[in-house]
Chain A
Amino acid sequence: MAPAATVAWVKSCAKSGLCVAACPQKDAGLDAMLLVRIAKQRALNDTQQIPTKHDPTLFPRVKIFARLQLTDEELDTWL
């Protein structure tokens, strides 16, 4: 389990990437944004310290948007 402050920090990441250049270990090859992303995955799936926000309507919704606008040919060849 991670400390609450760490979880809050990881949870609020908006992928600005400013941490990448700011990381003192950048020159050693560390990608701080990727590490935060891995930490978020662990908090979601391993320690369950971040609640999942699964949207089951995501794919059905974009499919309806596609059918509203795409031609039959576009539907056949793009998707």
Chain B
Amino acid sequence: MALGSDRVTFWFGCNMLRHAEMIRLTIMLLERAGYDVRTVGGPGYCCGTAHDHQPRAASNMAARTVGRFNEAAEKEGRGTVVTWCPSCHMHMSDIMSPSNVTAFEIAHVTELLAERADRLAGLLQVPVQRSVLLHRHVGFATHVAVNDRVVGLLSRIPGLQLRQGPAHPGHMCSALAALPGALGRAARETWDGASAADCDTVCTIFHSCHRELAALEGRGGIAVRNWVHLLAEAMGLAASDAYLGWRTGGAPDIAAIERADESRYHALIEPEIRKPPPL
């Protein structure tokens, strides 16, 4: 990659805000790979895909987000927008870019990290003694070979044994939620696959899958980690996972709840973190 294109905008999307540690670890990985990262996300950078029922509003949101990325490209030299979310990536590629003038390229975070895997490999010095089943979906392969990219990165971790899990439909677990029984089936097939292969860890690739499978942490002696957690472990770094803790009976500390707005926490957050697991 040419000098100057190392300045990137990391666009983590909306729903990743559940997983602050995963955002921070991804920034760390990009920086260790040599990128200068400006991080953005949340509703102010909405791709519009959650508003399919309001096409005009969705179009305006998309145009605003593209405008912000154009400004970062033109004023800060950030000519690449790095995605995490496959839904944001596909929406940018298929809808936002063709219908707006763009001054940037788009790439998935796994593509950038895979491109510099040799640089990261030198940092992966701590053996991770886990037998890992990779939770995969087939959908995003239309745009990015994400399963291969993650396998390539995880295979650099000393000590880690990796098996590829069943290839589930959709681009991530949220795509299955509207199909009766599909999400539970994907979770069951993943756990059955992990058990059959004597794996002690299921590794998620996307946040939506992590959100659903986190509630199964410990089921059958199988832990749930995201790929960025495993890379961080191999670097000897802390790789905490607050959301997983909340989905398995924990809760944010009271000071954080008060800061966030206690009544809205009880109304909006508790129902999600206390909902039944998918299996």
Contact = CB atoms under 8 A, between A and B. Distances in A.
Interface of A: 12, 14-18, 20, 31, 33-34, 37, 40-41, 44-45, 52-55, 57-70, 74, 77-79
Given A16-B170, A60-B264, A64-B260, A69 B139 contact: no
Contacts of B67: none
B18 interface: yes
Interface of B: 12, 14-15, 17-18, 20, 23, 39-44, 46, 50-55, 90, 94, 137-142, 169-171, 175-176, 178-179, 182, 242, 252, 256-257, 259-261, 264-265, 268-269, 272
Contacts of B265: 64, 68
B52 A40 contact: yes
Given A15-B90, A62-B15, A79-B43, 5 more contacts: A14-B178, A20-B142, A53-B178, A57-B268, A78-B42
A55 B268 CA distance: 12
B142 A33 contact: yes
19 contacts: A14-B169, A14-B171, A15-B139, A15-B170, A16-B170, A17-B138, A37-B94, A40-B52, A45-B53, A52-B53, A54-B51, A54-B53, A57-B268, A62-B14, A63-B43, A65-B18, A66-B17, A69-B17, A79-B42
Nearest to A11: B178
Contacts of B142: 17, 20, 33
Contacts of A33: 142
B138 A18 contact: yes
Given A14-B182, A15-B139, A20-B142, A44 B52 contact: yes
Contact of A77 (B39, B53, B90, B268): B39
Nearest to A12: B179
Interface of A is mostly: helix
Given A14-B175, A17-B139, A78 B260 contact: no
A64 B252 CA distance: 12
A68 B43 contact: no
Given A15-B139, A41-B52, A62 B90 contact: no
Nearest to A34: B94
Contacts of A14: 139, 169-171, 175-176, 178-179, 182
